[in-house]
Amino acid sequence: MASCLISSISEELKCSICLELLTNSMSIACGHNFCKDCILKHIQLSGGYSFPCPECRTVSVLKDLWPNQQLCKVVQSFKLLQSPLRRSLNQRKLRKTKFYEEITLDPKTAHPGIILSTDRKTMRGNGAWKKLHCDGEEYDRYCPVLATQSFKSGRHYWEVTVGNSSAWYIGLCENSVKRKGGVIPCSSTGYWLLSLIESCYLVCTIPRTKIPLTGKLYKVGIFLDYEMGDIVFYDVDRRCHIYTFTSSFLEPLIPIFSIGVNSEKENILSIDPVSDEAKETLEDAETSFRKEPSL
């Protein structure tokens, strides 16, 4: 979520007159802030001792205009931090592409309520099975399928399209986890998952952690750094971090995918390759990063 945070802070530190980062910040009575040159020109054009705020139209007078030295320091600090923060984000994006994995679904682990595509990249609910069964256990409501790949070292990245599916969870699990019965998926039971349940995005902690995403999540990137103990979820479309699990892994980890088979809507998950466009964007980011001078 760092890129979203940078963008949000940048918007808050912009002058609403010139739309650039504040320069020699000046505050007025209503609390809004502007570049010194911008607000002085605005006052001059207003043609009098009093003037309306360019944002809220509240009337201020010249004595209400004062230099905001603290905000000036904040803006200057943000400018100094902005460059290394962006380089850090570029490094993370490059790292994701460099360690991209071809993930396929293992038909031996597929529940009867799931149909896999012939390339073993897509899973969907089995309508015929759904008509015959109405099982209330979580394992059967959220039918999991494991990947054929497992990881016991290194860094690995893959992307999953959840699309318009109304019930799913994705992530990783330990090789030895219990997948049936009364197990509660969480890190202490060997599961590191992001899920959509009843229109809420949750990570499987105890208690569950709700993720306040704005808008719908269509494609999720998953990054595993085994030695560092990190499992990171990304919103691919918005290029934002969602959540990071940090644990100590003691056995191989397997990508796991699940959809709700008893939902009214059809649920589909697809494991996607990293697009050529995304790779080109990351290559451009790498070039920019290498050219950018260090601070």
Domain CATH code at residue 117:
2.60.120.920
In a domain, 29, yes or no: yes
Out of 51-60, 168-177, 266-275, pick the least confident.
Answer: 266-275
Query: Is the domain of 272 the same as that of 221?
Result: yes
As a whole number, the mean pLDDT across the chain is: 79
Question: What ranges make up the beta strands (E) of 236-293?
Answer: 240-246, 253-260, 268-272
* Same-domain pairing of 137 and 63: no
Prediction pTM value: 0.60
Is the domain of 128 the same as that of 201? Answer: yes
* Residue 260 predicted with pLDDT over 90: no
Question: Is residue 49 in a domain?
Answer: yes
pLDDT at 238 over 80: yes
CATH number at residue 50: 3.30.40.10
The total of other beta-carbon atoms located within 10 Å of residue 222's CB is 23
Phi-psi sector, 181: left (phi>0), alpha (psi -120 to 50), beta = left
Q: What is the pLDDT of residue 87?
A: 57
Residue 83 domain flag: yes
Of the pLDDT bands very low, low, confident and very high (cuts 50, 70, 90), residue 10 is confident
Average pLDDT over residues 83-92: 56
Do 174 and 138 share a structural domain?
Answer: yes
> Domain containing 13: what range?
2-97
Residue 4 predicted with pLDDT over 90:
no
Q: For 262-295, what is each residue's pLDDT tens digit?
A: 666 678 899 987 655 444 433 443 343 333 333 3
Sheet holding 142-146, edge to edge: 142-146, 253-260, 168-174, 191-197, 200-203, 209-210
Residue 112 lies in a domain: yes
Q: Are residues 135 and 152 in the same domain?
A: yes
Residue 207: count other Cβ atoms within 10 Å of its Cβ. 7
CA–CA separation, 25 and 72 (whole Å): 6
Would you place residue 160 in the very low, low, confident or very high pLDDT band (cuts 50, 70, 90)?
Answer: very high
Q: Does residue 290 sit within a domain?
A: no
How many independent structural domains does the chain possess? 2
Query: For residue 229, is it within any domain?
Result: yes
Angle (CA) 272-278-281 rounded to 5° is 170
Give domain status of residue 294, yes or no.
no
On whether both 210 and 69 belong to a single domain, the answer is no
Write down the residue that tokens 């002058």 correspond to: 15
The answer to the question of residue 292 being in a domain is: no
pLDDT at 146: 94
Using CA atoms in the order 205, 249, 96, 160, what is the torsion angle rounded to 10 degrees?
-50
Segment 13-30 mean pLDDT: 87
Percent of the chain with pLDDT over 70: 75
**Same domain, yes or no, for 61 and 126?**
no
Per-residue pLDDT at 220? 93
Higher pLDDT, 90 or 143: 143
Whether omega for the bond prior to residue 144 falls within 30 degrees of 0, making it cis, is: no
User: Same domain, yes or no, for 42 and 136?
Assistant: no
Which amino acid is it at 74?
V
Q: Are residues 178 and 247 in the same domain?
A: yes
Read off the DSSP letter of residue 229: T
In the Cβ-directed half-sphere of 97, how many Cα atoms lie within 13 Å? 19
> Given 72, 97, 122, which residue is the final one in a domain?
97
Shared-domain flag, residues 188 and 216: yes
Beta carbons of 21 and 100 less than 8 angstroms apart: no
Helix (H) or strand (E) holding 11: helix 2-12
Task: Judge contact between 6 and 86, C-beta under 8 A.
Answer: yes
- Whether residue 218 sits in one domain with residue 139: yes
**What mean pLDDT do residues 118-147 have?**
69
Query: Are 155 and 18 in a shared domain?
Result: no
Q: Please give the share of the chain, as a percent, with pLDDT higher than 90.
A: 25
Higher pLDDT, 137 or 79: 79
- 219 burial via Cβ count (<10 Å: 0-12, 13-18, 19+): middle
**H helices of 145-270, where?**
none
Decide if pLDDT at 86 tops 80: no
Q: Which of 97, 120, 149 is the last residue of a domain?
A: 97
The gap between the terminal CA atoms of the chain, to the nearest Å, is 24
